[in-house]
Amino acid sequence: MADDAMLIARVVGSGDRAAFGQLVQRHQSSVRACLRRLCGGNDALADDLAQETFVLAWRKLATFRQEAKFSTWLYRIATNCWLADARKTREVLLGDRDDDIEDSEDNAMNTGALHARDASRGSTLKLDLARAMLTLSDGERAAIVQCYDNDLSHQEAAYVLDCPVGTVKTHILRAKKKLKLAMAGWEQESDA
């Protein structure tokens, strides 16, 4: 299977759409997951932003200079798309997220699929964590998502967020402080 660099060379060299299609298939899951987390559960918006991310990547691929991994470059574009959208529709995002979470909770209860104790516990933990993530600022949430969900180093996260490494560290420290406060009830359970 061709690696990313070979596919990129084919796209840049001859505008090979099939090669770009392979790149999309390879990276769609991580980019969409990252955006879903950033969008606080608004999956439709996240997928729209993911599509915008790949279209931008297609247009700008010739400017990609391989100083980071291709996936990291995609996260950078995705984060910028999300930030631009969040600035435009901040009120809508904040208003809708609780409803989304409540809907998910209702659905989970109605389907009865999560009756097993462990599954239910895991689901509640994820909902609590999703709620707690909403208390973070844009920068803090983005730093947590990049470093924990996407497994990026501080340096890579700084590249994605277009800020100094020190700022990423500060964002993470502050975010963890807020998350620990919001998730305090889960600390004893995780110790047990």
Footprint on this chain of other proteins (rule: CB under 8 A): 11-15, 17, 20-21, 24-25, 28-29, 32-33, 36-37, 47, 50-51, 54-55, 58-63, 65-69, 72, 76-77, 80, 125-126, 129, 144, 147-149, 151-156, 159, 162, 169, 172, 176, 179-180, 183, 186-187, 190-191
Report how far residue 152's alpha carbon sits from residue 155's, in angstroms, rounded to the nearest whole number: 8
Nearer to other proteins, 33 or 108 (CB): 33
What's 153's DSSP letter?
A: -
Report how far residue 48's alpha carbon sits from residue 43's, in angstroms, rounded to the nearest whole number: 9
Nearer to other proteins, 67 or 91 (CB): 67
In the complex, minimum distance from the CB of residue 34 to other proteins, in angstroms, rounded to a whole number: 8
Answer whether 39's CB lies under 8 Å from 1's CB.
no
Nearer to other proteins, 95 or 177 (CB): 177
Nearer to other proteins, 17 or 115 (CB): 17
In the complex, minimum distance from the CB of residue 95 to other proteins, in angstroms, rounded to a whole number: 23
In the complex, minimum distance from the CB of residue 92 to other proteins, in angstroms, rounded to a whole number: 22
DSSP codes of every residue in 52-115: HHHHHHHHHGGG--SSS-HHHHHHHHHHHHHHHHHHHSHHHHHHHHHHHHHHHHHHHHHH-TT-
Nearer to other proteins, 88 or 126 (CB): 126
In the complex, minimum distance from the CB of residue 155 to other proteins, in angstroms, rounded to a whole number: 5
Paired tokens of 40: 């606080």
Answer whether 57's CB lies under 8 Å from 14's CB.
no
In the complex, minimum distance from the CB of residue 90 to other proteins, in angstroms, rounded to a whole number: 20
Answer whether 38's CB lies under 8 Å from 32's CB.
no
Answer whether 53's CB lies under 8 Å from 77's CB.
yes
